Structure formats: structure tokens, C-alpha cells
Structure 1
């Protein structure tokens, strides 16, 4: 449905003692792709907050297939795959030149009312509207 892809170069300061990108930096890489995807529907984090909701990550899964290395060009894609009760986004990190898979995974985010702090068990109408989906009327 909604998808974005970004291209990044692994910087020197992301490299660990083994000469590969430290696993924790992959969260940063998928965050950049997630922001690009959300910007496509005009529902970035500042817009979320302005509409009264925040969407904390409640689950993250990453599977590391091959290491990313210093100065390597990588592609990171983010695709929204669930939106009715939560926001589930799948990710794929590949070598930009060869297409070789480096990592894959997903995040799950839940809508939380920014005033009350209450978690919503259904996606807010404002989010569905950004997706072009009209919620069913009662």
C-alpha cells in the first residue's frame, strides 16, 4: 500500500571493532525509511503529535543476514502492511549495488492519545484518513 525506499552510506562512526555496522544502528536506518514512508502520506511525527496521537514502537524484530560495512551504499525500504488496529511496517535492507539482502524485519506501533496517555485499540480516524480509508460509520 504505502512504501518508501531510501539510500544511505554506512558512516565510519557506525562501525564496531569487527569493522561492520553495529547491530543497534540498523534501528536508525529503518527509522529513516519509516519517516520517508510516513512523509508520503503527510503523517510524520510532528503531524501525528499535532493531531493528538503518538505512535510508540511496541515491538521490533530484526534478522541480520549479512553485515553492512563502512562506506557501503545500502537501500532501506519500509512498507506499511497493517493499519486497522496498529501500524505494522516491514523493512528490507539490501546492498544498493548488488541487491544482496543484509537485514529484514518489522516494527509494530500503537496509537496513544497524547493527552490521556491511553492506548487506542483501533487506528484513529485521522490516520485512516491519511491512508484514504473512511472508517465505517456506527
Structure 2
């Protein structure tokens, strides 16, 4: 199982009135982690989108454990939690530079045709992605 790592320096604009990272920003960071994972595996979302295929979020979950503040650096760790040829569940951990676990989460995605939102078979249309996801998904 491959775990991608993406470093993020917390910007002031990402914090709320309490001086901690506003909760919705963690979801954005998960997207950055997912993009890094796909890049690490040798692929690119933009190429898939050029083919008229998009990958919407079906479900997303985040559990907040410890706040992150302006000026800190975090690492978003991302992996393929599960994959069945149609749906992909990504797992996430956001770890502060202190080593403290700040957020855990998952997001579920399916690839669909952009014009109709009909699901496609990744295995059939993108066999290289399928093989990489099978090889790199979390094992049992």
C-alpha cells in the first residue's frame, strides 16, 4: 500500500476567529492529498477530465482530533482504503509538524461521464489506473 504525503504550510486565511484552521479547509487539504497520491501513482486527473470523465465525491467524512494553527506545517497522508473497480475510498490522516494527529477521514468517489453522470468501469476504460489501484490499495 502506497501512502502519499503532501506538506502544507498553514496560511492565515485558512484560520477562523479562534485562530485555528477552519474545518472546511481540511476537506480541501484532503483533495490536495488525493491529487498527490494519483500523481505518485503516475496519473493525472486532468487527463481523465480531458476524456470527459470526472470523479465526484459521493461521501466524505472527517474526524477532528487536535486543532492546527496559523504558522504550523501539516502533512496530509493519503492512501487507497478500498477499491472495487467502480468506487474508490481514500483514507486520510492530517498530521501536525509536532507529530500530533489532527484529522482522520475518508472520501468515496466514483468515475462518471461528465455529460450524463453515468458511472464508468475504471477497469475497462483505464486499465493502467485499475492495476495501480489494485496493487496499492489497503490489504484486508
Listed one character per residue, the Cα deviations across residues 4-34 of structure 1 (whole Å, up to 9, x for unaligned) are 1011111111111101000011111111111
* Structure 2 partner of 1:33: 33
Contact 2:74–2:95, Cα closer than 8 Å, also in 1: yes
C-alpha RMSD of the superposition? 1.9
The question of whether the paired residues in 1 share the 8 Å contact of 2:122 and 2:129 is answered with no
How many aligned residue pairs are there? 132
TM-score, scaled relative to structure 2: 0.84
| Alignment match, 1:90 | 91
Pick closer, same or farther for the CA change 1:128–1:62 going to 2, 3 Å. Answer: farther
- Residues 12-21 or 123-132, more deviating: 123-132
Indicate how the Cα distance of structure 1 residues 113 and 86 shifts in structure 2: closer, same or farther if over 3 A, else same: same
1:44 matched to 2:44: yes
Is 2:81 the counterpart of 1:74?
Answer: no
* Residues 74 and 94 in structure 2, CA contact (< 8 A), matched pair in contact too: yes
Q: Is the 8 A contact 2:94 2:101 kept in 1?
A: yes
Flag the structure with higher helix content: 2
Deviation at 1:104, TM superposition (A): 0.3
Alignment gaps of 5+ in structure 2: 133-140
Query: Residue in 1 aligned with 2:11?
Result: 11
TM (norm. structure 1) is 0.85
Return the alpha-carbon distance in structure 2 between the equivalents of residues 15 and 66 of structure 1: 14
Range 18-27 or range 32-41, more displaced: 32-41
